[in-house]
Copies of this chain bind each other. A is one copy, B any other.
Amino acid sequence: MPPQNVYDNATFFENYSTLPRSVHGLDGAPEWPRLQTFLPDLKGRKVLDLGCGFGWFCRWAVDHGAATVHGIDISNNMLEKARVMTEEGGRRYRGITYARADLDSLELPESDTDSYDVAFSSLAFHYLENLPRLVQLVRRVLKPGGKLVFNVEHPIFTAPPAPALKVDPGTGGKYWKLEDYQKQGLRSRPWFVDAVEKQHRTMTAYVNLLLDNGFVLTDFDEWHPTAGDLEAHPEWETEMIRPMFLLIGATKNHWMVPTS
């Protein structure tokens, strides 16, 4: 099956480009303030961005001292816009390189082994059929002690075949119709276009993927709005019903963890 590249569908891309996180970048992503705390000091570091989209994080990383940032994305549409915005930044962004690749079949050269300080990914991993392969690759290219920081759509959010907040006709209260949590695999959802293909994985799958591949879990959050967020965005009250984003940080283990 050819890799899904919905971001190069014209209808999808046009609509996606109007989302707050497309227009305002990291500042338009409600989970970013929390995810940011998982990152180490980037000064002088070599950074990998898996699913870089418009390159917002690549530029943020350089603005925060990263020496080099390599951004990878499957979408020509997004890379084209990323390159334009990076070029407009001039010499300041000369440390950024972009490459087009499908993360399900990404290859990185032998010379990259043990070379990256940080691997970052925002809302990309839940599209991948072969996430274990990518996690093994990330482990190979990170330095010992290097850090993987990523977010995905939360397993509670990806589980139902037809996800929806429903209203209880008796009480008027809202609830999340949770189904098929333990049935991992493809979920096909309408999102601007008829079908966007995502992969549902359980929390167990994400956590053990890291533990089984020599990572130490260091950061974990199911994003929810703060009291201040709720004052500014009362409509985010629905985010208290079920989590939408799972945020994880993990370091490449360079010792043996005793398990017995």
Interface residues of A (CB under 8 A from B): 40-41, 145, 147, 156, 160, 168, 173-183, 202-204, 207-208, 211, 216-222, 224, 239-243, 249, 251, 255, 257-260
Contact = CB atoms under 8 A, between A and B. Distances in A.
Nearest to A179: B175
7 contacts: A40-B260, A156-B156, A175-B179, A183-B240, A204-B222, A207-B217, A216-B217
A246 to B, nearest CB: 9
B222 A218 contact: no
A211 B222 contact: no
Contact of A181 (B40, B156, B203, B251): B156
Nearest to A252: B258
Contacts of A182: 222, 224, 239-241, 243
B222 A202 contact: yes
Given A156-B156, A178-B156, A218-B211, A251 B259 contact: yes
A249 B175 CA distance: 31
Contacts of A173: 179
Given A181-B241, A182-B243, A243-B182, A211 B220 contact: yes
Closest 7 CB pairs of A and B: A40-B260, A182-B224, A176-B178, A182-B240, A207-B220, A178-B178, A175-B179
Contacts of A156: 156, 178, 181
